[in-house]
Amino acid sequence: MVSQIDDQGFKAKVLESPTPVLVDFFATWCGPCHAIAPTLEEISREMADRLTVVKVDVDESPDTASTYGVTSIPTLVLFKGGQEAWRRVGAAPKRTLTEELGKAVS
């Protein structure tokens, strides 16, 4: 299950996580963000043994979005060991995301 975090929880949930974390930077008003949400839920379940998926609302957590240079949404960023390891701006098909994440996580 994909959980939502905010600026205050970002360090503990993402940067200090022992496992890779995929962050979905989104907004409630963003159509493509809503379109990709079910795909991210599926990826969260299917890759649960390899990564965690969280969401950050850019309107509610502007500091984190700004820190990581998020200017378009959805933006997906994979963090490994507290460092950015992969990024994709915009929605993509599940197969594409799964393949790219599989490579980035291993």
CATH number at residue 34: 3.40.30.10
pLDDT tens-digit series, residues 90-106: 999 999 999 999 999 98
Q: Which parts of 6-99 are beta strand (E)?
A: 21-26, 52-57, 75-80, 83-89
pTM of the model: 0.96
> 93 lies in which domain range?
3-105
Using an 8 Å Cβ cutoff, are 75 and 87 in contact?
yes
Strand-pair partners of 93 = none
Of 30, 47, 53, 91, catalytic: 30
Query: Both tokens of residue 21?
Result: 């974390």
Using an 8 Å Cβ cutoff, are 7 and 25 in contact?
no
Query: Is 90 exceeded by the pLDDT of residue 1?
Result: no
Of 21, 33, 51, 77, catalytic: 33
